[in-house]
Amino acid sequence: METDIKQLRHKKLRTWIEESAALCKPDKIYVCDGSKEEYDRLMQLMVKNGMAIPLKKKANSFLFRSDPSDVARVEDRTYISTTNQADAGPTNNWVTPEELKKTMRGLYEGCMKGRTMYVIPFSMGPIGSPIAKIGIQLTDSPYVVCNMDIMTRVGTKVLDQLGEHGEFIPCLHSIGAPLAEGQQDIPWPCAPIEKKYISHFPEENLIWSYGSGYGGNALLGKKCLALRIASAMAQREGWMAEHMLILRLINPKGKQYHIAAAFPSACGKTNLAMLQPTVPGWKAECIGDDISWMKVGTDGRLYAINPESGFFGVAPGTSYATNPMAMETLKENSIFTNCALTDDGDVWWEGMTPEPPIHAIDWKWRDWTPGSKETVAHANARFTAPAKQCPVISPDWEKPEGVPIDVFIFGGRRPSVVPLVYQAYNWDHGVFLGATAASETTAANIGAVGDLRRDPFAMKPFCGYNMGDYFSHWFAMGDKLGDKAPKLFYVNWFRKSGDGSWLWPGYGENSRVLKWICQRIEGEVSARETPIGYVPNEGDLDLAGMNIPTENVKQLLHVDKDAWKTEADGIAKYFTEFGDHFPKRLSIQLEEMKKRLAG
Ligand code: GTP
Ligand code: SPV
Ligand code: MN
């Protein structure tokens, strides 16, 4: 039975839908119930109109190809709109709410003509969890509806939880491509780049997105709600919303460690989250691969939930050799975007198998053969797959109260300077490591790839308020947690040798680093004190059975004082950006590192 919006019990919700519809002027409004029947019906509609290609080799799975301009997040077009610019801070694009709303209302005017407005009630986090939040997304994209269905908990049960007066985060989305009467639709309608706006109004917990149908621009539960809006709420309310995977590691004695790790986009979260340890006796379970919401529990420890229910993972590089658990997860009931189509009706991407197919259709719908100049899949091609299909998903991944975090890890892509792993001396030093994290840019954002930039806590694109205040929030959380605070570490899987090859094999072998981390917590393994933190001695890492040249290990654990002095200068310069929102405790950490480097 279709829900008439007049039947919606929540008056504020009804009014907002009516007002949005009056502005966007869709032909029809449809309230999603989150059923399988609904998902199948929308998919069939998209197959019929040429948007989706059913895959012969994967049950209930479909390939989509985007417009070539709409392939990733658009940080340049992403706004944190607050009354005062200081509240958005130096790392965010800013326009006043008044001005931005005026511009966007102009764009929204009639933008859904010829289309259906879908109403998606969704929960970030298990429905009813004390940490969960409800959002309602309005969208004119059935592709978004199906993706949201996998990535979040959607449907009538969310409306029931909301009741008549419950709190929800309104998320208005349009691809920005109205259809005139009789106009033929195209496979991936969207607006040109200069008309795309991904806007956040944290003062009223509101999201307005226009012009893009892709990933974080359009699946508004993810980066927009669960990170930008949630981080601002978390700061106000004393909890944390972080760009972190959540992993449970179990040692041979059966002791569990919960690890949350923040790496920038396309820097290894999904892979680490589904790790298959190569160290004998150690096991891992996945809890989340991208976002972690954390609150202090009654026992004073920090508890984390994964607010999502699916994975929107980077396809290229994903293979049975690198991430077998992801490959098992995406075997069926999955959506593929900007991957290649093989002649036997499967998807393919660079790195999926050692040998490419002899022929394929590339992500731009063209014939492709090996040796061609361009890649067959886009570098930011993605799979959308249900978390429950992951063979190593933790039995506790939907626990409403979350899991207690023991370890925070920061990291990124650093071809030089930064060692494989090191431990912070204490909480304040760990916050310094997070705040000074830097990484090479990736195809997850539209823009240059491979440029080194500061990406504090992997939150540069996702912090919904002043980054200086965000640093202070980390200190405040540490003060609140006291001796129950997680221990902090930094890793770098991406160190390169002179010839450009990886010094460290990565993937499952990263378990050797995680083992050292857990043993550090227990005081079971040694390390040397260096100017940047505790670094393992060569003998401290379990490298048994691994055939890595000693020279590589030396380089991976080397701390080059001169290089770090240059790094310290870069950090000092970076810190000046934050003006009077900058916490003094970070400056103290920089001074202490400089002293250690001079000694
Ligand atoms: P987002 O979904 O954008 O947040 O990315 P992510 O942080 O989850 O990154 P993901 O795990 O998808 O990895 C991105 C790319 O890095 C893929 O091509 C991986 O194959 C590659 N990668 C992941 N882990 C490692 C590693 O340990 N070593 C190396 N060399 N590459 C890795
Ligand atoms: C990221 O870029 O960090 C992602 C992909 O996880 S997207 O959902 O497009 O933001
Ligand atoms: Mn991400």
Yes or no: say if 509 and 475 are a contact pair by the CB < 8 Å rule: no
Q: Which helix (H) or strand (E) holds 200?
A: strand 197-201
39-88 pLDDT, tens digit per residue, is 999 999 999 999 999 999 999 999 999 999 999 999 999 999 999 999 99
Mutational pocket test of ligand 1: of 271, 274, 318, 382, the residue with most ligand atoms within 8 Å of the beta carbon: 271
Is the CB of residue 222 below 6 angstroms from any atom belonging to ligand 2?
yes
323-364 pLDDT, tens digit per residue, is 999 999 999 999 999 999 999 999 999 999 999 999 999 999
Distance 160 CA to ligand 3 centre (A): 30
DSSP 201: E
Those residues whose C-beta lies under 8 Å from the C-beta of residue 309, and which sit 6 or more positions away, are: 150, 151, 152, 153, 386, 387, 388
**Strands of 66-145, DSSP E:** 78-80, 116-124, 133-139
For 329-360, the DSSP string reads HTTSS-EEES-EEETTS-EE-TTSSSS--SSE
pLDDT at 458 > cutoff 90:
yes
User: What pLDDT, on the 0 to 100 scale, is given for residue 599?
Assistant: 87
Ligand found nearest the CA of 508: 1
- Nearest atom (ligand 1) to Cα of 509: 27
User: What pLDDT, on the 0 to 100 scale, is given for residue 2?
Assistant: 74
Distance CA 241, CA 132 (A): 11
Q: Which helix (H) or strand (E) holds 98?
A: helix 97-108
Is the CB of residue 85 below 6 angstroms from any atom belonging to ligand 1?
no
Q: How many residues does the chain have?
A: 599
pLDDT at 512 > cutoff 70:
yes
Mutational pocket test of ligand 2: of 222, 228, 378, the residue with most ligand atoms within 8 Å of the beta carbon: 222
User: What pLDDT, on the 0 to 100 scale, is given for residue 473?
Assistant: 99
User: What pLDDT, on the 0 to 100 scale, is given for residue 215?
Assistant: 97
- Report the nearest-CA residue for atom 2 of ligand 1: 313
Distance CA 36, CA 39 (A): 5
Is the CB of residue 70 below 6 angstroms from any atom belonging to ligand 2?
no
Distance 411 CA to ligand 1 centre (A): 12
User: What pLDDT, on the 0 to 100 scale, is given for residue 500?
Assistant: 95
- Report the nearest-CA residue for atom 11 of ligand 1: 268
Both tokens of residue 191?
């607006």
pLDDT at 177 > cutoff 80:
yes
User: What pLDDT, on the 0 to 100 scale, is given for residue 53?
Assistant: 98
Is the CB of residue 90 below 6 angstroms from any atom belonging to ligand 1?
no
Residue type at position 170: P
Ligand found nearest the CA of 266: 1
Is the CB of residue 266 below 6 angstroms from any atom belonging to ligand 1?
yes
Is the CB of residue 265 below 6 angstroms from any atom belonging to ligand 1?
yes
Catalogue the active-site residues.
Answer: 267
Distance CA 229, CA 205 (A): 6
Which among 146, 151, 153 has a CA at the least distance from the CA of 41? 146
pLDDT at 514 > cutoff 70:
yes
User: What pLDDT, on the 0 to 100 scale, is given for residue 319?
Assistant: 98
Distance 272 CA to ligand 1 centre (A): 8
Which among 205, 325, 305, 193 has a CA at the least distance from the CA of 258? 305
Is the CB of residue 290 below 6 angstroms from any atom belonging to ligand 2?
yes
DSSP 268: S
Distance 264 CA to ligand 3 centre (A): 7
Distance CA 208, CA 108 (A): 10
Q: What's the rounded mean pLDDT across residues 520-532?
A: 98
Is the CB of residue 290 below 6 angstroms from any atom belonging to ligand 1?
yes
Share of the chain above pLDDT 70, in %: 100
- Report the nearest-CA residue for atom 10 of ligand 2: 216
Is the CB of residue 216 below 6 angstroms from any atom belonging to ligand 2?
yes
- Fold agreement between 242-309+398-598 and 310-389: no
Ligand found nearest the CA of 268: 1
402-429 pLDDT, tens digit per residue, is 999 999 999 999 999 999 999 999 999 9
| Residue boundaries of the structural domains of the chain | 5-31+67-237, 242-309+398-598, 310-389
Choosing among 2.170.8.10, 3.40.50.460, 3.90.550.10, 3.30.930.10, the CATH entry for 310-389 is: 2.170.8.10
Distance 223 CA to ligand 1 centre (A): 18
pTM over 0.95: yes
Q: What's the rounded mean pLDDT across residues 239-256?
A: 98
CA torsion 166→302→422→527, rounded to 10°? Answer: -170
- Report the nearest-CA residue for atom 22 of ligand 1: 268
Yes or no: say if 8 and 14 are a contact pair by the CB < 8 Å rule: yes
- Nearest atom (ligand 1) to Cα of 271: 11
Distance 539 CA to ligand 3 centre (A): 34
Yes or no: say if 151 and 223 are a contact pair by the CB < 8 Å rule: no
Distance CA 314, CA 337 (A): 10
- Report the nearest-CA residue for atom 5 of ligand 1: 266
Mean residue pLDDT of the chain comes to 98
Ligand found nearest the CA of 379: 1
Share of the chain above pLDDT 90, in %: 99
277-295 pLDDT, tens digit per residue, is 999 999 999 999 999 999 9
25-41 pLDDT, tens digit per residue, is 999 999 999 999 999 99
Q: Give the Å distances, CA to CA, from 33 to 194, 341, 387, 389, 563.
A: 34, 31, 20, 22, 56
User: What pLDDT, on the 0 to 100 scale, is given for residue 1?
Assistant: 59
Q: What's the rounded mean pLDDT across residues 464-488?
A: 98
Number of neighbours of residue 521 by Cβ within 10 angstroms: 15
Distance 266 CA to ligand 1 centre (A): 5
- Nearest atom (ligand 2) to Cα of 214: 9
Both tokens of residue 312?
């929107």
DSSP 52: E
Distance 236 CA to ligand 2 centre (A): 25
User: What pLDDT, on the 0 to 100 scale, is given for residue 4?
Assistant: 86
Q: Give the Å distances, CA to CA, from 439 to 63, 67, 358, 393, 455.
A: 31, 28, 35, 28, 7
Q: What's the rounded mean pLDDT across residues 96-123?
A: 98
Diameter of the chain by CA atoms? Answer: 75
Distance 562 CA to ligand 2 centre (A): 35
- Report the nearest-CA residue for atom 7 of ligand 2: 216
Domain 242-309+398-598 has CATH 3.30.300.30: no
Q: Which residue has the tokens 């098992």?
A: 328
CATH topology of domain 5-31+67-237: Phosphoenolpyruvate Carboxykinase; domain 1 (3.40.449)
- Report the nearest-CA residue for atom 14 of ligand 1: 266
Is the CB of residue 149 below 6 angstroms from any atom belonging to ligand 2?
no
User: What pLDDT, on the 0 to 100 scale, is given for residue 585?
Assistant: 98
User: What pLDDT, on the 0 to 100 scale, is given for residue 428?
Assistant: 98
Confidence of residue 461 (pLDDT cuts 50, 70, 90): very high
Ligand found nearest the CA of 492: 1
- Report the nearest-CA residue for atom 3 of ligand 2: 265
